[in-house]
Amino acid sequence: MAKVRQWDSDANGVLTEDKLRQLLGNMGYRVQRYIYPPGTFFPDHTHDVDKIDAVLAGCLEIQMQGKAIRLNPGDYIAVSRGMLHNARVIGDEAVISLDAVRAVS
């Protein structure tokens, strides 16, 4: 099961978009920002690249390997290439997400 990682404010300071982008970039990922309004649902799908889903605001629930995983601000999770999953916005707040794709060398 993929493990949710959380922003470490002791090591990295206050969570900001720039700081989270830099962290993901330093891990070898290209980063895109998306905003998903309440009610957004992504049905079962896979990706042909390794990626990380990170949340800056709101709550995103990802279902994979039979488990529901909630991502809150500062949380991020690796989604391996080919991993079947779906996702949905939880609650009335839009999700601001950083979608990070493994950079190809």
| Residue pLDDT, tens place only, 34-61 | 999 999 999 999 999 999 999 999 999 9
Helix/strand/coil for 87: strand
**CA separation, residue 8 to residues 11, 25, 45 (Å):** 6, 16, 30
Helix/strand/coil for 23: helix
| Residue pLDDT, tens place only, 7-41 | 999 999 999 999 999 999 999 999 999 999 999 99
Mean pLDDT of 67-85: 95
Task: Parse the chain into domains and list their residue ranges.
Answer: 5-102
Dist CA 71 CA 10 (whole Å): 20
Dist CA 44 CA 30 (whole Å): 23
CATH number of 5-102: 2.60.120.10
Helix/strand/coil for 46: coil
Which amino acid is residue 98, in one-letter code?
L
User: Integer distance in angstroms from the first to the last C-alpha of the chain?
Assistant: 27
